[in-house]
Chains A and B, each alone.
Chain A
């Protein structure tokens, strides 16, 4: 059908901003390309405000324009930022942008948005060393290489210099609905990792304490307070 060819040319002009292939009013065609670019850009700027600030405007526009040419597959506009994140990390832009903390920043900004829309399990479990627990569905445990969760405290060069290990529990506070984080030690990060895999808290602490050459009996009491806090906040369920 020749109509498909017209639609294809129109679509291509809307995506690329190149208007020469179609025999229509160029000013009105331009209006479509602008409206579409604004819709996409608004969704991405809202999701990644920090990345948008870090990148020079012309670079940001190039990334967005390339993304528009190659992706935009989800029927849900709210999912577009996740598609953008995946696109950047799998395309030439990952290296071309040359931001050491790019992956962490994208993930942090996306999760800040996404966790807000996750359902949670509402039942609270009482902490017990010998029971199995899971992370609630409104929670992520993550180990960043850069402290992107505190990006407002550092300038770019400082952030680059802070490469290390920054394990966090990132969650939606069920009372305030704010997205919050709890910084944890690498030790606790590994313990919680084992708990999620099905070990009881006691088994997990024993195993990781042995790895860190710590007497697990000495850490049980302070850890119990910490785990009770996590169950009270329904982070562990």
Chain B
């Protein structure tokens, strides 16, 4: 069971987490980095798995791809989730494969009714196969391929149609709001908050005045912390995960940010307890 603050588990601090008094409540991993792997690293992961709740956050499902679902991959994924008894599996509302070739990056989908229907069908297939609800993340994106309906309508339609949950990435909302000129708070107020299973927070790069890049390679910006607090105020007690994928500092520094996340969650919880 994941609750309150969690941390994205990274190889660079895999052996550090037992050395500090502060321990994250839960960790998130990318299953693709662990499936079919072994050796000392896997042993350490198994120790961590036995001590902490783990959520899986996938990268290669490519749910919006024009290609059919990769059932060989899904089979390996299901075996992994079942073996480690991991119930929480999230992915991205995006595509990362076309014509059988992958990108190892998350590409935006055309925001059309057809695409929303097409993706919904595939989500339901995946949910049936994995015997788990899918939790889908709103990705950051730098260009709009087509916008027959808004991103917000696109996401809400899919959540409604499929029964899938939302992994609300607050940093992505902020990045997209700057990149595409909308109000992040309006977006959050109008997304299906009752479907939010957990949230992400991460750092981004100020690439240009009107273009932010979702690098996960810097500290979380103050505006994003504020947006998280605003969101938690609306969602109530939803778990939040701190992500750091690039330019990873010493673990102690990551823990400082983690403590900040904990303090914001606690502040909102205390406020809600009073009202």
Contact = CB atoms under 8 A, between A and B. Distances in A.
A6 B95 CA distance: 12
Given A3-B146, A4-B66, A10-B107, A71 B42 contact: no
A7 B98 contact: yes
A134 B32 CA distance: 30
A35 B246 CA distance: 13
Ranked nearest first, the 6 interchain pairs of A and B with the lowest CB-CB distance are A119-B38, A11-B98, A75-B60, A4-B66, A28-B143, A28-B142
29 contacts: A1-B114, A1-B115, A3-B66, A3-B112, A3-B114, A6-B110, A6-B146, A7-B95, A11-B103, A11-B107, A14-B107, A29-B143, A31-B142, A31-B211, A32-B107, A36-B103, A36-B105, A39-B103, A72-B103, A72-B104, A73-B101, A73-B102, A75-B32, A80-B104, A117-B42, A119-B39, A138-B39, A172-B39, A177-B40
Given A10-B107, A116-B39, A118-B38, A75 B73 contact: yes
Given A7-B66, A75-B32, A117 B103 contact: no
B70 A75 contact: yes
A72 B102 contact: yes
Interface in A41-89: 43, 70-78, 80
Contacts of B110: 3, 6-7
Given A3-B112, A76-B35, A76-B60, A71 B105 contact: no
A36 B104 contact: yes
B41 interface: yes
Contacts, number: 113
B118 interface: yes
Nearest to A15: B101
A40 interface: yes
Contact of B39 (A3, A32, A117): A117
Interface string A1-45: 101101110110011000000001100110110011001100100
Interface of B: 32-33, 35-42, 59-60, 64-66, 70, 73, 95, 98-105, 107, 109-110, 112, 114-115, 118, 142-146, 207, 211, 213
Contacts of B118: 1, 3
Interface string A102-142: 00000000000000111110000000000000000010000
Nearest to B41: A117
Contact of A11 (B41, B99, B115, B146): B99
Given A3-B115, A3-B146, A28-B211, A72 B101 contact: yes
Nearest to A40: B104
Interface residues of A, number: 39
A32 B115 contact: no
A80 B105 CA distance: 14
Residue from B36, B95, B104, B115 whose CB has the most chain A CB atoms within 10 Å: B104
A31 B146 contact: no
A119 B65 CA distance: 34
Contacts of A7: 64-66, 95, 98, 107, 109-110, 145
Given A7-B110, A14-B107, A24-B143, A119 B98 contact: no
B102 A10 contact: no
A43 B104 CA distance: 10
A25 B143 contact: yes
A172 B38 CA distance: 12
A43 B114 CA distance: 35
Contact of A117 (B38, B102, B107, B213): B38
Contacts of A14: 103, 105, 107
Contacts of A8: 66, 98-99
B121 to A, nearest CB: 12
A172 B101 CA distance: 32
Given A6-B110, A117-B39, A73 B100 contact: yes
A72 to B, nearest CB: 5
A30 to B, nearest CB: 10
A183 B140 CA distance: 51
Interface in A124-166: 138
